[in-house]
Amino acid sequence: MLPPISPSVDLSRGQFALTLIFHILWPVFTIGLSSFLVAIEALWLKTGDEDYYRHARFWAKLLLLNFGVGVATGLPLEFEFGTNWAPFSRFAGNFFGNILGFEGAMAFMLEAGFLGIMMFGWRRVAPAIHMFATCMVALGASMSALWIMSANSWMQTPAGGHVANGHFVVDNYIQAIFNPSAPWSITHMWVACLETSLFVIGGLSAWYIYRNRHRAFFLRSFKVVVVAAIVITPVQIFLGDGSGGVVFEYQPAKGAAIEGHWITNPPGEPAAWSLLAWPDQAKQKNDWSLEIPYGLSLLATHSLTGQVKGLRDFPRKDQPPLLPLIYYAFRLMAGIGFFFFGLMIWTVWRWWRRGLTPDNAGRNKWLWRLWIGAIPLGYIAVEAGWTVREVGRQPWVIYGIMRTEHGASMLPASTVAGTMIVFGIIYAILLVTFLYFARRILLEGPDVTMEAPPRRGGGLIDTRTAWETGEGQSSEGMK
């Protein structure tokens, strides 16, 4: 017995999209930056170079600002499943709710439980304990990516259970958690967080270098970024390719929509890849397209004549909507991934040619300009990728099992429209305020004379209270 269709289903979708699109901006940077800070703090502890300590303190300011917005905007998502998607929640709770619970217990609490020590505890705990706290924040942040991607992947490629009495009942947790899409999606998203953050940190460092402020200081963070990018950028291209393979295998309609592929190629014949096209749902074909022979078979199946299902094999009602959006969002994401790879190669070459010394750094203006321009690109790629993933899953909320319109709560359209407007206004305020304060922090720049605490000594906790040390509790961070 199917639940009735709610009059506000499209508004609930709109509100969920709005809150997700806005929220994902923040954890991306929290995950990447906290991992970067683990590396920076470890470098400080290993080398004793105080500049690394100053880097840790400087970037932590941005982390804290970013984290506040991330926490604030993440909370609504935990509850919107129930408020706006009650039938979905009842159906999927056995698995989906369970995994969100794991995320809370293993990821968010870990992050929150150590964030205070990481941010304000520099002189209250021993350096080794502080390092541990930083690691726990980064681990907690990364674990949240693991669980949320597992849950979302299950909506893409549900596995590991059966439906009974209107509920999905789990038979095999390993199969459900590591459903076909999960391994690729978890790694693809986690690496996307690292990559986006690397190009933000690298871009901001480039901005200081370009303006000749603390040039030697920021060449350090820049080089850490470049070393990481040597690994991360090619790995991400590989993971993107793997994620695509899973889509073509398990969600062929989405795969065909991504590539504007309408007609299944006959056995033994290649499918061409359209580099650029305009997919037209009404005509059930591309208005025009620029094609590369053999391309799609090669991309989707890694063979010259592999068969790729076309969109016309699916009834109209089972095809994803908004085809041009899916088609171009995918190209935007992939293009940015390759741009990052190219920028990395060029930078490594400049480094090889001794272009990254404080004396020579002023000469390649375009290198720095490109890095500065790359700051927002990772975010754009993440949003584009999520658009492909979620719009491409339509018309299903759980692929092949539950259609989106059957998952929405029965709510008056005016109510959902009202909350959506409030979300829109609040989030606009948050974004503007964040950018305003982040700009101020960046203009102020790092404190390059700050003294680091001793690297050794200290106990599990400072046995003196803040009162005895004469330090106010929270002005702690300044010293």
Partner 1 sequence: MNDVHHFLADIWFGLIGVLLILYVVLDGFDLGVGILSLGARDDNERGIMMACLGSVWDANETWLVLLGGALFGAFPDVYAIALHALYIPIMATLFGLVFRAVAFEFRENSRRKRMWNIAFGAGSLLAAIAQGFALGAIISGIPVGPHGFTGGVFDWFSPFSLLVAVGVVFGYMLLGATYLIVKTIGDTQSRFFHQAAFAAWLTVVVGIGVSLWTPLKFDYVRAKWFGENLYAIGTLPLCAAISFGVLLYSLRRRHEYAPFAWSILIFLFSFIGLATSLYPSIIPPDVTVYSAASSGKTLVFMLTGIGMLIPVMLIYNAYQYLVFRGKVTTGGYGH
Task: For residue 94, state whether it binds partner 1 (rule: CB under 8 A).
Answer: yes
- Per residue, what are the HEC states of 222-289? HHHHHHHHHHHHHHHHHHHHHHHHHHHHHCHHHHHHHHCCCCCCCCCCCCCEEEEEEEECCCCEEEEE
CB of 178 to partner 1, least distance (A): 14
Asked whether the beta carbons of 137 and 120 are under 8 A apart, the reply is no
Choosing from 46, 163, 171, 288, the residue that interacts with partner 1 (CB under 8 A) is 171
Asked whether the beta carbons of 293 and 270 are under 8 A apart, the reply is yes
Task: For residue 174, state whether it binds partner 1 (rule: CB under 8 A).
Answer: no
Task: For residue 160, state whether it binds partner 1 (rule: CB under 8 A).
Answer: no
Segment 48 to 77, residues that bind partner 1, using CB under 8 A: 61, 64-65, 67-69, 71-76
**How crowded is the C-beta side of 218, counted as CA atoms within 13 Å?**
24
Q: Which is nearer to partner 1, 74 or 392 (CB)?
A: 74
From 371, 300, 373, 298, select the one nearest 330 (Cα to Cα).
Answer: 300
Query: Which span (44-52, 261-269, 338-346, 414-422) binds partner 1, by CB under 8 A?
Result: 414-422
- Distance spanning both ends of the chain, measured CA to CA: 64
Q: Which is nearer to partner 1, 349 or 437 (CB)?
A: 437
Choosing from 114, 248, 250, 386, the residue that interacts with partner 1 (CB under 8 A) is 114
Choosing from 47, 49, 116, 353, the residue that interacts with partner 1 (CB under 8 A) is 116
Choosing from 11, 92, 271, 398, the residue that interacts with partner 1 (CB under 8 A) is 92
Task: For residue 236, state whether it binds partner 1 (rule: CB under 8 A).
Answer: no
Q: Which is nearer to partner 1, 366 or 463 (CB)?
A: 463
CB of 376 to partner 1, least distance (A): 21
Q: Which is nearer to partner 1, 46 or 479 (CB)?
A: 479
Choosing from 5, 47, 48, 78, the residue that interacts with partner 1 (CB under 8 A) is 78
Q: Is 266 exposed, middle or buried (0-12, 13-18, 19+ CB in 10 A)?
A: exposed
Asked whether the beta carbons of 226 and 348 are under 8 A apart, the reply is yes
Task: For residue 123, state whether it binds partner 1 (rule: CB under 8 A).
Answer: no
Segment 360 to 399, residues that bind partner 1, using CB under 8 A: none
Choosing from 48, 342, 362, 412, the residue that interacts with partner 1 (CB under 8 A) is 412
Task: For residue 415, state whether it binds partner 1 (rule: CB under 8 A).
Answer: yes
Task: For residue 288, state whether it binds partner 1 (rule: CB under 8 A).
Answer: no
Choosing from 20, 39, 42, 112, the residue that interacts with partner 1 (CB under 8 A) is 112
Task: For residue 458, state whether it binds partner 1 (rule: CB under 8 A).
Answer: no
Asked whether the beta carbons of 294 and 317 are under 8 A apart, the reply is no
Q: Which is nearer to partner 1, 391 or 411 (CB)?
A: 411
From 221, 232, 223, 235, select the one nearest 37 (Cα to Cα).
Answer: 221
Q: Which two tokens mark 369?
A: 């300009």
Q: Which is nearer to partner 1, 92 or 201 (CB)?
A: 92
Task: For residue 417, state whether it binds partner 1 (rule: CB under 8 A).
Answer: no
Rounded Cα distance, 471 and 114, in Å: 21
Contacts of 324 (CB under 8 A, 6+ apart): 278, 279
Q: Check residue 6 and report its DSSP letter.
A: P
Task: For residue 87, state whether it binds partner 1 (rule: CB under 8 A).
Answer: yes
Q: Which two tokens mark 182?
A: 């999960």
Choosing from 58, 59, 102, 368, the residue that interacts with partner 1 (CB under 8 A) is 102
CB of 18 to partner 1, least distance (A): 13
Rounded Cα distance, 414 and 423, in Å: 14
Q: Is 456 exposed, middle or buried (0-12, 13-18, 19+ CB in 10 A)?
A: exposed
Q: How many residues bind partner 1 (CB under 8 A)?
A: 87
Segment 392 to 411, residues that bind partner 1, using CB under 8 A: 409-411
| AA identity, residue 477 | G
